[in-house]
Structure 1
Amino acid sequence: MPELLPWEDVELIAELSECSSATHPAICPCDHLDKYRSISGFCNNRQNPLWGAANTPLVRWLPAEYEDGEREPKGWNQGRLHNGFQLPSPHEVSKKILRTSSMGKEDVYSHMLVEWGQYIDHDISFTPQSSGSAAFQTGVDYDITGGKSCLPFFRSVAACFLSFGSDIEKSLQRQQMNAITSFMDASVVYGHTPKMESSLRDPSGLNGKLVVNCKFKDHKGRPYLPFVNKHSVLHTLWMREHNRIAEVFKHMNGHWNSETIYQETRKIIGAVHQIITMRDHVPKIIGSKSFEDYIGPYRGYDPTTDPSVSNVFATAAFRFGHATIPQIVRRMNESFQEHEHFPSLRLHHTLFSPWRIVKEGGIEPTLRGVIGTAAKAFSANMLLSDEVTERLVVLNTPQHMDLASLNLQRGRDHAIPGYNEWREFCGLKRIKTLDDFQEVVKDCKVAKKILEIYKHPDNIDVWLGGLVEKFLPGARVGPLFACLIGKQMKALCDGDRFWWEADGVFTQQQRAELSRVSLSRLICDNSDIKQIPLDSFIFRKYPSGFVSCDQIPSINLEAWRDENSPGELKKLSAFKVCFFTAFI
Structure 2
Amino acid sequence: MVRLNSLLCSLIALLIEINRNSIDADRPSYNGRHQLRPKNRELLMDIQEAQLEFEKYIEKRYDTNDSNEVQVQIQIRRQVNNQCDVSVRCVESKYRTADGSCNNKQNPKWGKSMECSQRLLPPDYSDRMTRPRASLSGRPLPNARHISSQLHFQREVYGDYTHILMQWGQFLDHDMSFVPTFQSRQGVIDCCEGSGSENCFAIPIRNDDPFYSRFGRTCMGFVRSAPCLTCNVPRQQINQLTSFIDASNVYGNMANETIPLRRMDGTGKLRTSKSNRGNDLLPPSSDPQNDQCSDVENNNICFEAGDNRVNQLPALTAMHTLFLREHNRICNRLKILNPHWGEERLFQEARRIVGAEMQMITYNEFVPLVIGAKNMNAFHLWIRRSGRTTYDPNLNPSIINEFSAAAFRFGHSTVNGLFHLMDERGQTRPYLLRENYFNPFVLYNDDIDLIIRGLIGVRGHLFDRYVTDDVRNHLYKSREDRFGSDLIAFNIQRGRDHGIPGYVFYLRYCFNEQITEFAQLDAYMPREQWTHYSQLYERVEDIDLYSGGLSEYKLPDAIVGPTFACIISKQFYRLKFGDRFWFEHGDQIGSFTEGQLRELRKVTLANIICRNGDNFPEVHPRVMQVDNSNSNPVVSCSSIKEMNFNAWKE
TM-score, normalised relative to structure 2: 0.77
| 2:165 corresponds to 1:113 | yes
Provide the C-alpha distance between the structure 1 equivalents of 2:53 and 2:156, rounded to a whole number of angstroms.
42
Q: Do residues 496 (structure 1) and 579 (structure 2) align?
A: yes
Alpha-carbon distance between aligned partners in 1 of 2:11 and 2:233, rounded to the nearest angstrom: 11
Q: 1:532, 1:15 → 2: CA distance?
A: 52
| Residues 1:430 and 2:514 aligned together | yes
Give the Å deviation of 1:158. Answer: 1.4
Task: For 1:480-559, list aligned pairs within 5 A.
Answer: 480-503=563-586, 504=588, 505-527=591-613, 528-540=615-627, 545-559=633-647
Say yes or no: does 1:251 pair with 2:336.
yes
Query: For residue 484 of structure 2, what is the amino acid of its counterpart?
Result: H
Q: Match for residue 225 of structure 2?
A: 156
Distance 1:364 1:499 in 2: 31
Q: Could you say what secondary structure the match of 1:281 adopts?
A: helix
Aligned-partner residue type, residue 170 of structure 2: Q
Task: Please report how far the alpha carbon of residue 424 of structure 1 lies from its aligned counterpart in structure 2 after TM superposition.
Answer: 1.2
- Letter of the structure 1 residue corresponding to residue 267 of structure 2: N
1:327-346 alignment, distance < 5 Å: 327-338=417-428, 343-346=429-432
Name which of 376, 380, 384 aligns with 2:461.
Answer: 376
Post-superposition shift, 1:26? 6.0
Aligned partner (choices 114, 118, 125) of residue 55 of structure 1: 114
Structure 1 residues 394 and 175: alpha-carbon distance in aligned structure 2, compared to 1, 3 A threshold = farther
Q: 2:52 aligns with which of 18, 41, 49?
A: 18
How many angstroms apart in 1 are the aligned matches of 2:596 and 2:541?
Answer: 50
- Residue matched to 2:150: 96
Shift of 1:427: 2.3
Between stretches 530-539 and 135-144, larger displacement belongs to 135-144
Provide the rounded CA distance (Å) in 1 between the counterparts of 2:172 and 2:516: 35
- Structure 1 range deviating more: 221-230 or 413-422: 221-230
Gaps of 5+ in 2: 13-46, 55-83, 184-188, 193-199, 285-301, 304-310, 383-387
1:198 maps to a residue whose letter is I
Deviations 1:349-369 (A, max 9, x none): 12111112213x420111000
Q: 1:415 aligns with which of 499, 502, 515?
A: 499
2:358 is matched with which residue: 273, 282, 287?
A: 273
Structure-2 residue corresponding to 1:465: 548
Higher strand share: 1
How large is the Cα RMSD of the aligned pairs? 2.7
One-letter identity of the residue aligned with 2:403: F
Per the alignment, residue 80 of structure 2 pairs with none
Q: What does 1:563-574 correspond to in 2, within 5 Å? A: none
Q: CA deviation at 1:133?
A: 4.2
Specify the alignment match of 1:565 in structure 2.
none
**Distance in 2, Cα, partners of 1:418 & 1:549:** 48
Q: Output the amino acid matched with 1:517.
A: V
Deviation at 1:139, TM superposition (A): 3.7
Equivalent in 32, 38, 47 of residue 97 of structure 2: 38
For residue 363 of structure 2, give the secondary structure of its aligned residue in structure 1: helix
What are the ranges of 5 or more consecutive residues in structure 1 without an aligned counterpart? 76-80, 163-170, 563-584
What's the secondary structure of 1:67's corresponding residue?
coil
Shift of 1:99: 1.1
How far off is 1:490 after superposition?
0.3
Q: What code does the residue aligned with 2:342 have?
A: N
Q: Paired residue for 1:178, among 233, 239, 247?
A: 239
Worse overlay, 532-541 or 423-432: 423-432
The residue that corresponds to 1:134 in the other structure is 191
- The 8 Å contact of residues 295 and 486 in structure 1, kept in 2 or not, is answered as no
Asked if the contact 2:271–2:282 (Cα under 8 Å) also holds between the matched residues in 1, the reply is no
Local SS of the residue matching 2:638 = helix
Give the number of equivalent residue pairs. Answer: 533
Distance in 2 (CA, whole Å) between partners of 1:241 and 1:549 is 16
Deviation at 1:499, TM superposition (A): 0.4
- 1:220, CA displacement in angstroms? 6.6
SS at match of 1:158: coil
Larger CA deviation: 402-411 vs 224-233 = 224-233
Q: Residue 107 of structure 1 aligns to a residue in which SS?
A: strand
Is the CA contact (8 Å cut-off) linking 1:19 and 1:159 kept in structure 2? no
8 A contact 1:217–1:224 mirrored in 2? no
> In the alignment, residue 370 of structure 1 is paired with which amino acid?
L
Structure-2 change in CA distance of 1:4 and 1:36 (3 Å): farther
Matched to 1:149, the amino acid is T
Say which structure, 1 or 2, has more relative contact order (CA 8 Å, 6+ apart). 1
Partner of 1:320: 410
Q: Does 1:211 align with 2:295?
A: no
Paired-residue identity, %: 34
Deviation of the 1:394 alpha carbon:
6.0
CA 1:187–1:3 in structure 2 vs 1: closer, same or farther (change >3 Å)? Answer: farther
1:510 offset after TM fit, Å?
0.5
State how 1:1-12 maps to structure 2 within 5 Å: 6=6, 9-11=9-11
Shift of 1:6: 3.8
Deviation at 1:512, TM superposition (A): 0.4
Task: Give the CA deviation at 1:481.
Answer: 0.5
Question: Is this contact kept in 2: 1:316–1:463, CA < 8 A?
Answer: yes
Pairing partner for 2:256 from 172, 185, 195:
195
Question: For 1:301-351, what per-residue CA distance to the aligned partner results, in whole angstroms no more than 9, with x for missing partners?
Answer: 00000000011100000001101111101110111221xxxx211111121
What is the Cα deviation at residue 428 of structure 1? 4.2
CA displacement at 1:435 relative to structure 2: 3.0
